Amino acid sequence: MSNKTRINRCLQGDKIAFREFYDLYSRAMLNASLRIVGNIEEAEDILQESFIISFQKLNEIRSDAEFGGYLKRVVVNRSIDLIRKNKPDFSSLDEVQIAGETENDQDLKYDPAVLTECIAELPSGFRIVLTLYLFENYSHRDIAQFLNISEGTSKSQYNRARHKLAELYHKKTMTHA
């Protein structure tokens, strides 16, 4: 069934159609928010609020792809709003020890569960920029505007986050090996 059909059913008050939308998008949207905010309870709250906001705008959505895209923008924006309130830590270069590159990142096979743990352990500034750039496909210019930082800070936070993530991943996989 297409989203447009679901949208029409939702606009008619069909609760099953609302549930179908929720089931279709909730996991991916929860993961997107969790990667940004780093806290499951906050991510769950953002998810619920985002669905409510998106359902209120259903009459403005015209195509199948629009609902998912609109919902994702709401989730990301609500997550960023929460981060702004909590003032993320954009550490200076002196404060963070950066791991050196030992292998070509392209050739590595990562365990998604361990990688998720490592991302959650990153300092907030690193985690936010890494998530927005790598997983949500925002440009450094957009990230800088969202977070009220310079584009250069966004780029350096991303590069440092990648190095720190590789260091954390290496430590975790070496202790589990």
56 and 123 belong to one structural domain: no
On whether both 73 and 118 belong to a single domain, the answer is no
Higher pLDDT, 114 or 16: 16
Secondary structure in 3-state letters for the chain: CCHHHHHHHHHCCCHHHHHHHHHHHHHHHHHHHHHHHCCHHHHHHHHHHHHHHHHHCHHHCCCHHHHHHHHHHHHHHHHHHHHHHHCCCCCCHHHCCCCCCCCCHHHCCCCHHHHHHHHHHCCHHHHHHHHHHHHCCCCHHHHHHHHCCCHHHHHHHHHHHHHHHHHHHHHHHHHHC
Structural domain for 9, as ranges: 3-86
Regarding whether 167 and 118 lie in a shared domain, the answer is yes
- 20 and 65 inside one domain: yes
Q: What percent of the chain has pLDDT over 90?
A: 31
Over residues 78-120, the pLDDT tens digits come to 998 887 776 655 554 333 333 344 444 444 566 778 888 888 8
Q: What CATH number should be reported for the domain holding residue 98?
A: 1.10.10.10
pLDDT of 35 strictly over 50 = yes
pTM of the model: 0.68
Instruction: List, for residues 144-154, the tens digit of each pLDDT value.
Output: 888 888 999 99
Same-domain pairing of 62 and 105: no
Supply the pLDDT for residue 43.
Answer: 95
Structural domains in the chain (count): 2
Q: Final residue of a domain: which of 27, 58, 86? A: 86
Q: Which of 86, 104, 131 is the last residue of a domain?
A: 86
